[in-house]
Structure 1
Amino acid sequence: MSYTFDFASLLPYWPEFLQGAWLTLKLSVLATMFGFLLGMFCAIARADGAPWLKKLVALYVEIIRNTPLLVQIFLVYFGFASLGVKVSANTAAVAALVVNVGAYTCEIVRAGLESIHASQVEAAECLGLTKTQIYWHVIVRPAIERVYPALTSQYVLLMLASSITSQISAEELTAVANRIQSDTFRSFETYIVTGLLYIVLSFVVRFALYLFGLVLFPRRRKLATAI
């Protein structure tokens, strides 16, 4: 059996590939930003919140970590529609990704918070720092710095997982690839190009997070180990 590759037939579709890649990047950035905020709130609540709040956050985390992302996307997309709330596929995709990555961010950040030794807090109190200064400079910021590589990997995985949103017709890269291969009947070539674009996007996301880490953590900037 022989197969002749024909990538030339995909050249007219490059604008659509790039548009899909751009939407994938936008979905990922929005989900990363809001997912981080949600995860931070949940991690702090689970570490220092009231007992009922700790149980509520723990329940949320366990539900999300033990159900498939695709099911969560369907629940958000079709659930809103069942309630009479019309949302676009892209909005539902971002909402589902935020809820999903928020749970994983919560557990990663919580591990960082628990790694801060009580003696560091006591030393900060002896220096006369306020509770707000202690919580930010001694607990939260060092905790995030310790788990930043894990967060980076999680957000790259989030970008790749966004391909599942094609199942609700979000016009990201995978959805565009599905449409192109049905038009050209060149499935092999289409998904090779799609895979290469995802690799490029992964490097873009990782490099952007690396630069953000250099800005956020001065000590890592000196050591050049933002990730």
Structure 2
Amino acid sequence: MYEFNFAPVIAGLDQLLIGAWLTIQLSCAAMLLGLIVSVFCAWGKTSGITPLRWVIDAYIEIIRNTPFLVQIFFIFFGLPSLGLRLTPNSAALLALVVNFGAYGTEIIRAGIESIHKGQVEAGTALGLSRLQIFRYIIMKPALRTVYPALTSQFIYLMLTSSVVSAISADDLAAAGNNLQSATFASFEVYIVVTLIYLVMSVGFSTIFAMIEKAAFKYPLSR
């Protein structure tokens, strides 16, 4: 019969918590930067500039149809051949931003295209400025439409970030691997790591749900 021994895990719990905090920081930074990439690419896809749309389409298809692990290896091990050498954490952040940007582009594009052109025309007829039209007619309804998908993508991004431990980036999975190597309590370590990921996911889902309820309720608050 297997006897559980969580004492070594509890002794090294501070390492796991530091790794969890770094995972949160990495994921939040990647989402913020990825959103900037997504907005720009979504604008490019809807701008009508054909060459730009082709480039963005190629970027999206390449990222969405290749494994994330391969993308990380390409950035961390491949780019140094071109003279660009990144630290593990920087490479992990860049890979997450590039990955989130591809998926986020399609999400935001769908939100923008969900706004009926008649609503924009009505805003123009009422004498609203372009900024007012973008703020009140396009931005908030579009965000309300894509908000659940974006938050789900963030949770997926945070969980996917565990792969960055493959290049020795400092995250929760890497902290778990280090603790397991030091204690040999594999089962106990990964039970605790799983629980921490679960708590983070549920916690962020709850926070996002509260934000959605406060910011995107009917009628839309200004």
TM range (shorter): over 0.9
Q: Is the 8 A contact 1:214 1:220 kept in 2?
A: no
Per the TM alignment, residue 218 of structure 1 is displaced from its structure 2 partner at its CA by 5.5
Matched to 1:182, the amino acid is: S
Please report the TM-score for the alignment, with normalisation by the length of structure 2.
Answer: 0.93
Please report the TM-score for the alignment, with normalisation by the length of structure 1.
Answer: 0.91
CA distance in 1, matches of 2:181, 2:32: 34
Name the counterpart of 1:97: 96
Per the TM alignment, residue 189 of structure 1 is displaced from its structure 2 partner at its CA by 0.6
RMSD of the alignment, in Å?
1.8
Name the counterpart of 2:4: 5
Matched to 1:140, the amino acid is: M
CA distance in 1, matches of 2:159, 2:180: 20
Name the counterpart of 1:206: 205
SS at match of 2:12: helix
Per the TM alignment, residue 133 of structure 1 is displaced from its structure 2 partner at its CA by 2.4
Structure number with the bigger relative contact order (C-alpha 8 A, sep ≥ 6) is 2
SS at match of 1:157: helix
- Between the aligned residues of both structures, percent identity stands at 47
Name the counterpart of 1:139: 138
SS at match of 1:199: helix
Name the counterpart of 2:111: 112
Name the counterpart of 1:225: none
Task: Give aligned pairs, total.
Answer: 221
Per the TM alignment, residue 105 of structure 1 is displaced from its structure 2 partner at its CA by 0.5
| Structure 2 unaligned residues grouped into runs of 5+ | none
SS at match of 1:79: helix
| Structure 1 unaligned residues grouped into runs of 5+ | 223-227
Name the counterpart of 2:32: 33
Per the TM alignment, residue 47 of structure 1 is displaced from its structure 2 partner at its CA by 1.4
Relative to structure 2, which stretch is displaced further, 179-188 or 190-199?
Answer: 179-188
CA distance in 2, matches of 1:57, 1:137: 28
Q: Is the 8 A contact 1:215 1:221 kept in 2?
A: no
